[in-house]
Structure 1
């Protein structure tokens, strides 16, 4: 009787391991985590409370004003919710290429480098800057002659940034490594918090 119980136990271990393995694979054939962007509807720029276009073509549409007196500046770290879409040649919105809305979850993303240059990270590496149009679209910027001032985002603020290729991934040519080169980009951005 003892031998029967022991052998049943020994044979059930591989069966249990096989069940756990199959469970971990999920219903997909690859077994990899599938990441799907699930952003909300795009902000309606016709409802913006203010609009600015810089001399180099960056469009900033403030959809909802933030609160408080503190504006984002280049040395801040920010937590945002965002969605990046391609703007087609006819002005319509194309595919979502990046978003903090993934698999029906709303996550905030922290951007640690709002300067135009790479900065050191805590682990000995570097934190690359954001594309120029995105970075400039959220920070307070004053031109050298102080005639052009872009206001920085405040907590709770929502903006649409429409970024021409020169301020994004550059013009498309045979040396372009990004599929976004030569494309106008649109980012819907909500500033959740200026991190300390």
Structure 2
């Protein structure tokens, strides 16, 4: 019994030191921080056409597509996009860490949906969702979304990093209609 106790007395401090050294690392984790790497914003001066809805959604067609039918609310899409604030700060993009893999959008309706796996799929921001409708494959658009069609408005000063009270600018390329 005494040899077991002396082995434990010897191993316990070693294990404790190893644990402390491991926990004092460089604070890195296996989680890779997202770095947005989008191309330059679309230039609206070269737009093919533009329109503004009564409630303030502005759509610039930057490049016409080659598809035959336009997006409807039941479609699922593969898109490349970048969302920026008025000062040019990127808050969301499919251009991440040097990759430009298109994202898949599954709910273009104004209501939440349930996936076949039972997961809730929330609708997109209303202005973004509406700005996608009618697009054809290969088309590029710039969407300018007022706060009321984005993340809404608040009476008090929004929290830092909040997108409330902000006009949103989205550059969108429709890669493919999936269904």
Q: Which residue of 2 aligns with 1:131?
A: 125
Q: Distance in 2 between matches of 1:34 and 1:135?
A: 27
1:59 partnered with 2:64: no
Of 153, 176, 179, the match for 1:171: 153
Q: CA deviation at 1:175?
A: 9.9
Q: CA deviation at 1:176?
A: 6.4
- 1:19-38 to structure 2, matched below 5 A, reads 29-31=27-29, 32-38=31-37
Q: Distance in 1 between matches of 2:174 and 2:137?
A: 5
Q: Distance in 1 between matches of 2:151 and 2:67?
A: 33
Matched position secondary structure for 1:106: coil
Moved over 6 A (4+): 175-178
Q: CA RMSD in A?
A: 2.1
Q: Which residue of 2 aligns with 1:194?
A: 177
Unaligned runs of 5+ in 1: 1-17, 88-92, 140-151
Q: Distance in 2 between matches of 1:157 and 1:109?
A: 15
Q: Distance in 2 between matches of 1:68 and 1:122?
A: 28
Q: Which residue of 1 aligns with 2:7?
A: none
Unaligned runs of 5+ in 2: 1-17
Q: CA deviation at 1:61?
A: 0.1
Q: Which residue of 1 aligns with 2:93?
A: 99
Q: Distance in 2 between matches of 1:82 and 1:172?
A: 26
Q: Distance in 2 between matches of 1:124 and 1:68?
A: 32
Matched position secondary structure for 1:67: coil
User: TM-score w.r.t. structure 1 length?
Assistant: 0.74
Report Cα offsets for 1:105-155 as digits up to 9, x if no partner. 11110000000000111222210000000000011xxxxxxxxxxxx1000
Q: Distance in 2 between matches of 1:155 and 1:124?
A: 29
User: TM-score w.r.t. structure 2 length?
Assistant: 0.81
Q: Distance in 2 between matches of 1:158 and 1:98?
A: 17
Q: CA deviation at 1:174?
A: 4.8
Query: How many aligned positions are there?
Result: 155
Q: Which residue of 1 aligns with 2:72?
A: 73
